[in-house]
Amino acid sequence: MAKARPIRQRALSIVEQFLKSSDTILGCAVVPVLAEAIKPAEMSAEMDKASWRQDCLDVFKVIEGAVEARKVAKCLGNVGEYCFPESSPNEFDLTIVAQQFPIEVYEHMKRLYESAESESVKQTTLHTTKTPSLGPLNDVLYVDREIDALWDRALECENGGFSREFRLALIRSLMRADAATALDRIRNFVIACKNASEIKLLAELVATRPSRFVFDHSDVVRAILVRSQEFAATKEVTRTLILSACGGGRTYTDTELDPEYKYILEQGDALANRFRDDPLLQPFYSEIANWERLSAP
């Protein structure tokens, strides 16, 4: 019985995903499986009894989690856009809920965005900056499927439009939920790009404003620049990447740039020097440094 435990655990994990599905028929279909899982069987030793008791506890936890997830999904559906707090975060803040129920919050956000997109008057109070950080989803197939679908639709949407922006925001949210695999996903995107439209979209995806992405991941920056050359999209991609570092606001004290923004010029110079023999990265980081110098008051 103990040897079969890993198999039972994997099966229970699959059943859990079905049980949490928004498809009620699918959820109900797995109930007999759960009933069978907690049915006493012939046990030849005390160890078998202990394993059976643990299996029962595992099943009850799955049922409890599924019930709670359905309650959360229903509550989110009821409150709609009012899930966003008007002031500081509190115990009911969506970001807090997203840590424990990431799939339910993600699905809720996607429905809100898609509803706003389908309205005849293309105006909404929703902003993609409100997309919350998700807790671990623990379902690679689900994440892959969602990212692929969002990416494909984003490619069809107008550049700079709400439809494109919210899909990119959702992709970022899904990738950040598993930080350990996020960079590998981006590298796979770089390899998979087939044309100028796709490499430009990828630059938009990774180069949010303001961010330290280009400073922290020079290898990925180089890979993106190489592919942009292949598709004759170097100018647009380079500008998008540079703006992710230089495009945010600045604050000054007595005409002196505040300390928290000085890293842009410092890092630009440092990386331009570090990659002085690289024909792609040296001019890229030099441009960032020059941009900062020219923007100084």
pLDDT in tens, 61-111: 555 455 455 555 655 555 555 455 444 444 346 777 788 788 888 888 888
- Reported confidence tier of residue 22, pLDDT bands at 50, 70, 90: low
pLDDT of residue 276: 96
pLDDT at 186 over 90: yes
Whether the CA torsion 101, 104, 106, 109 is positive or negative: it is: negative
Q: 152 in the Ramachandran plot: left (φ > 0), alpha (ψ -120 to 50) or beta?
A: alpha
pLDDT of residue 43: 47
Q: Which residue has the higher pLDDT, 54 or 281?
A: 281
pLDDT at 168 over 90: yes
pLDDT at 187 over 90: yes
Reported as a single tens digit per residue, the pLDDT across 32-63 is 555 555 555 554 445 455 665 566 556 545 55
d(CA 274, CA 254) in angstroms, rounded, equals 32
Reported as a single tens digit per residue, the pLDDT across 233-274 is 999 999 999 999 988 777 778 777 777 888 889 999 999 999
106 contacts 72 by C-beta, under 8 angstroms: no
Could you tell me the residue ranges of all domains in the chain? 1-79
pLDDT of residue 74: 57
Reported as a single tens digit per residue, the pLDDT across 119-153 is 644 555 567 777 888 999 888 899 999 999 999 99
DSSP string, 94-133: HHHHHHH-HHHHHHHHHHHHHHHHHSSS---S--GGGPPP
In the block, residue with structure tokens 């198999």: 7
What are 147's two structure tokens? 């990212």
248 contacts 210 by C-beta, under 8 angstroms: yes
Q: Which residue has the higher pLDDT, 250 or 220?
A: 220
207 contacts 165 by C-beta, under 8 angstroms: no
d(CA 191, CA 27) in angstroms, rounded, equals 38
What are 98's two structure tokens? 């997203």
Length, in residues, of the chain: 297
pLDDT of residue 231: 97
pLDDT of residue 250: 75
Pairing state between β 256-257 and 252-253 = antiparallel
Instruction: Give strand pairing partners of 256.
Output: 253
Reported as a single tens digit per residue, the pLDDT across 222-236 is 999 999 999 999 999
What are 107's two structure tokens? 């699905």
pLDDT of residue 6: 64
3-class secondary-structure state, position 20 = coil
pLDDT of residue 101: 80
- Reported confidence tier of residue 112, pLDDT bands at 50, 70, 90: confident
Query: Exposure of 116 by Cβ count < 10 A (0-12 exposed, 13-18 middle, 19+ buried)?
Result: middle
3-class secondary-structure state, position 233 = coil
